[in-house]
Structure 1
Amino acid sequence: MGIVVPSWAIWIFGTYVFPEPTQVRLVNGSSRCSGRIEVHHNQRWGTVCDDGWDLADAEVVCRQLGCGTAVSAPGKARFGQGHGPVWLDEVNCMGTEGAITECSLKRWGDHNCKHDEDASVVCSGMCPPFSTGELRLVNGPNRCAGRVEVLHEEQWGTVCDNDWGMEHAKVVCQQLGCGTPIYAPGWARFGRGYDPIWLEKVTCSGMESALSECRVQSWGQHSCHHGEDASVVCTDPMAVQLVNGPSRCAGRVEVLEQRQWGTVCDDNWDMRDANVVCWQLGCGVAVAAPGSAHFGRGSGPIWLSEVNCTGTEDSLSKCRARPKGVTGCHHGEDASVVLWVLTVQELNGLVRLVNGSNHCSGRVEVLHNQRWGSVCDDGWDLNDAEVVCRQLGCGTAIWASSAARFGQGYEPIWLDDVNCTGSEAALSECRARPWGLSKCNHGEDAGVVSIEGKDLL
């Protein structure tokens, strides 16, 4: 297979030199996937002028950041005016480039703009990492696409893209239950990792059931940098979008199947289903789950009916439903969602219960620094469980489980020595050790069963 050389590679003394791709970030938005676009040049962050700025340009930024697809490309400093240099003007992307610097553009710093013309981007967002315990994909638009990370010595790290190909992607997709591989990109297509680079020159036949069964060099020995992090894109799950609403976080639910967008029937559609859509789009929490084509009738196929989510899934494709395309519905029954976009400060301290029989029973997880993590069972009792149940609107607590009764978590252990009086409105109001400081392991993860989740007992 031939090598595709990026346009930013430089030919020096008979060989290609690959400089570090230009860093890009979005600032002043509700998440890292929306905001004013800034690029790093000459050791300074600067803005991009909105002259000619459109969705094709925004699509490249979203791809470079691993933030899904572009929703809008606002100009006129929609997310506030920058203060540094205006680095780029008249950016002209096809929409297929891997980085904004691969697009046609004027020379760095050459512009006739002011900061009230700063360009912005709103992307569809990303999902939380999907993990099997030793392998996960991160920063992708869904659980089956993203940067490959492996767990070694209790620390997540990346895989170098040297010799990385479709055989490796086939193993990763199979291990994660994600269908067949579509693409095995390198060059940090879904963003650069920050932790160790654990593997280089992995050798897979494609028949292995797990990446750990492939031949590898010694863990941690490599000649790579994070600009060479390997990624994978698999066929599953379906993408989700909200259309015809006042913002990207409200509208008619549409899912992508067989390369065609279609709607979801409102049979059994409720807030638990809406919350899964909310999480998949990175939109905060669900406010309403209207049916009856509240945001207008769709025109494509009706892909899903009788969706039945517990509310803890990370994508709509993981919820129970009738077979795709098998419905007795018409477009007057199209399902919709209204989501409440939260700031990072508001997101911190959110609580959920996972691995239980419903959203009112399971392992306690809290959101902090945009990552879900568990709670240690040291001192965990009914007073603490009562606060969780109140916060989730689940009635009275009837059990405060310990010793990972609902399975072990994979992410950080955020809270330890929680000590609630039982009258607090949220778990974050209770006394506890500082966030992330614990002396526990995931075999001590705390759980809760409320009166509305008692069918587990």
Structure 2
Amino acid sequence: MSPDSVRLLNGSSLCSGRLEVKSNQSWSSVCEADFDQQDAEVVCRELGCGPPSVLQGALYGEVEVPVWSKEFQCGGHESALLDCRSSGSARNSCSPGKAVGLSCSEPDDVRLVGGASRCAGILELKHQGEWRPMFEFHWTLKEAAPICEHLDCGSAVSLQHTESSLKFRWRIKPDCVQSRSTLRECTTSDYYNPILNLTCADSVRLLNGSSLCSGRLEVKSNQSWSSVCEADFDQQDAEVVCRELGCGPPSVLQGALYGEVEAPVWSKELQCGGHESALLDCRSSGSARNSCSPGKAVGLTCSEPHDLRLVGGASRCAGSLELKLGDWRPVEASEWILGKAAVICEHLHCGSLDYVEARNESLLRSVWRLKPDCVQSGCALRECVTSEYSLMIMNFTCSDLLVQPNIHASSMDGVFKAQQQGLQVSSRSNFTISCSIQPQYPGGSFQLTFTSSNTAYSYTQPAVNHSAHFLFPAAVPAHQGNYSCVYHIYVFSHNFSSESRQLSVAVSPPAAPTVHTITGVILLLILLIVITALYFCWKASREQTLSRKDTDVVYYNYSDHGEGGSAEDESRQGGEEDLKEAHLKSN
């Protein structure tokens, strides 16, 4: 039996339509009364589709061909419809609306392998019975989003092209997928070495939005998707969702922004701290809520991530244009981007364009290409990026409306050690981070931004004499991370900002006594003991010397001088008599 003996006509895909069976070189429709669920299972299997989802007459137009005259009696396990038993039937026509219309589900023909979950990894497709990696150079994140939907995963987060050995791949035409055709209808075989790595969110998605970073929020739990009620969701929860989707911080959080709720409602109140990497990592409390009032389903808009930069120039506003989509790569030079170069400087808050050129590299390298029709339609940059190999990249020089601020750290006490890119300060000691900028415009403010492996926050102070000082009275491990100063000012009817280099801060525990310190203390004690011993020895020796001198005293007899001796002689004689008496008493 060949698959050429059954077909589905007038459907939206190869797996749906009005059923026709071929016998004796002619096609016949099948009457609904002669066909059941087990027969449908066999047809769907024969066509390489998934199990039947809808079986109903006149779904795909009225019958126009002869009617199959036998009633099928399949067991459901057969590989082809004409392998089934059948009984003769006197039927040669069908009542209107009774010709079999059949919709088979799409086959489980696509998967992500080798990633952290079933929603991340190398994209593989099963076609003609064979699993192969999938590749298409010109796919963007937006065009890959239907794959995430097909896998019942959340929103598309990142798409990367990875080098591999040269092998046959399945190539998917992106415009075909966008038209909602089935994957196998969009597949051709080709010889490639790169492969696609796709990451979808596991359990959150934004629907009906203008970009991948906006829409009505839905959360997946127990294999089903639920909307979230506004009363159970706050700003910190929104920060976690935006981070999980690879977007920037939340900019708008409001009910009914993107349509009314159609899915079941999430029954728990989310209690995120704002630092979690995924929404389902947050704590939650039970709620009796099972429905949302109209207009109260969470609609969320996240800002676009900071995904552009200029590198290799004299400042952050000069150099080669690079874009981040999973990894940083140069942007391929093209005429339409050269014509829009001023927008790049504005996007980077670098004032106006001074100079731009296309530079020819010596080696072919992996680059990002921006699709002009996608960008000009207002889509976010990361949704318009495809992977290419090119020699041509772009060099920009923007006007640097603001000079780069300076960042400096100091400590009044504790252990402080200046390093090339940061400082080390001992625990519980105070330290100050100072921001300053060369005088250009009066006023403005400084924002001190802090990022670490699991959190981010900022402090803001007005600029006083073009500087601001942020005091940390007691250093703790939570202060350890990277700091930068961002200067903000409103001039020429626009907001401008400029960011300093990053400064890393390491907080060390209080210094413990070292071997050298202990050795020094012991030597000091020994020295003190020796000095004390020497003092007492010296004292004892001195007393013995004085004692010997006393025993050697010569006693003079002053009586020979006669009675008429002077008063001085009498005084000396009296003193000598006193010494004799004292000496005798001591003996």
Per the shorter chain, which TM-score range? 0.3 to 0.5
TM-score (structure 2 length as normaliser)? 0.31
Looking at CA atoms only, which structure, 1 or 2, has the larger radius of gyration? 2
TM-score between the two structures when normalised by the length of structure 1: 0.38
Greater helix proportion: 2
